[in-house]
Amino acid sequence: MTNSNLLRCTRCGRVAAEQDKFCAECGLFLRDAAIDQRLLLALVHEREGRSQESRHELERLLVAEPDNVLANHLLGTLYFHEGLLDQATDYYRKAIATAPRFLLGHYDLGVAYYHRGDMPEAVQAFRRCLEIDPNYNAAHYRLGLALFHSGQLEEAREHFELSLALTPEYLMAHYHLGIIHERLGEYEQAAREFERSLEESSGDVSSLYHLALVRDAQGDPAAAADLRRRARGFATSPVGAK
């Protein structure tokens, strides 16, 4: 009984798996070269803003090779950018089904689920990223966001802090930590995080607004009023209106 997943090299006769690109014995190219040409052409189209042409090439490629990891992932990304999130998650899942340790595939799947509002699936995808690479800063941050929107504030805080430990200059993590501290009534810690989030963007409206709420809660209405004036000034300035 023959295994349909095996093929034989026409040059040296060595048996190879169907997914092998080259013969390990003699180096013969085993696959249809048009597959890789279509993938390269799709990438060129995508980078030059021709999404429809890119999608057409990828769909042709996947007819010939349905399990192509890069084609499924790129097609998922094209659908994501078009706002077609159901299709995007379908293709991302196909990519990681073939390559279970494809880190970017799990990450992009999590982002797509997040934008669909499916936080449990987003959490699962980002957790899988961190199983593969525990130091993946973006996955810690995104997992923190998904947990935050799921109401799991303590674990969200843990992942925002891990994100900052890996990338201290990532100011949005400070902002979200500030929100968590504010919700928990930890006003001094909240103020510290909002101030940190303002270090590189002194006119960030959201941080100014929440810092004003914190100063009100701390019994400092004058400081709160000054922060609100700054927020209004930024929001109505040409820079803030962009």
Q: Torsion angle, CA of 88/93/98/101, rounded to 10 degrees?
A: 110
Q: What is the pLDDT of residues 158-205, one digit of tens each?
A: 999 999 999 988 889 999 999 999 999 999 999 999 999 888 664 588
Distances in Å between the Cα of 108 and the Cα atoms of 73, 89, 95, 153 are 9, 9, 11, 23
Domain containing residue 192: CATH number: 1.25.40
Q: What is the pLDDT of residues 97-149, one digit of tens each?
A: 999 999 999 999 999 999 999 999 999 999 999 999 999 999 999 999 999 99
The DSSP H or E segment spanning 17 is strand 15-17
Q: What is the per-residue pLDDT for 24? A: 62
Query: Residue 203 domain-assigned?
Result: yes
pTM: 0.76
Q: How many folded domains does the chain comprise?
A: 2
Which of the two residues, 18 and 72, has the higher pLDDT score?
72
Q: What is the pLDDT of residues 34-84, one digit of tens each?
A: 556 666 656 666 676 777 777 777 887 777 788 888 889 988 998 898 899
Query: Residue 73 domain-assigned?
Result: yes
Query: Residue 163 domain-assigned?
Result: no
Structural domain span for residue 208:
186-242
Q: What is the per-residue pLDDT for 2? A: 42
Query: Residue 238 domain-assigned?
Result: yes
Give the percent of the chain with pLDDT over 70.
Answer: 77
End of a domain among 68, 84, 100? Answer: 84
Q: Please, are residues 140 and 130 in contact by the beta-carbon 8 Å criterion?
A: yes
The DSSP H or E segment spanning 130 is helix 119-132
Query: Residue 232 domain-assigned?
Result: yes
Q: What is the per-residue pLDDT for 32? A: 53
The backbone torsions φ and ψ at residue 15, rounded to the nearest 5 degrees and listed phi first, read -80, 130
Contacts of residue 65, defined as CB under 8 A and 6 or more positions apart, other chains included, come to 31, 35, 71
End of a domain among 84, 104, 134? Answer: 84
Contacts of residue 140, defined as CB under 8 A and 6 or more positions apart, other chains included, come to 130, 159, 160, 162, 163, 166
Query: Residue 6 domain-assigned?
Result: no
DSSP code per residue over 54-87: HHHHHHHHHHH-TT-HHHHHHHHHHHHHTT-HHH
Q: What is the per-residue pLDDT for 223? A: 94
End of a domain among 47, 67, 84? Answer: 84
Each residue of 102-133: b (16+ CB within 10 Å) or e?
A: bbebbbbbbbbbbeeebbebbbbbbbbbbeee
Query: Residue 137 domain-assigned?
Result: no
Query: Residue 177 domain-assigned?
Result: no
Structural tokens at position 185: 């009534």
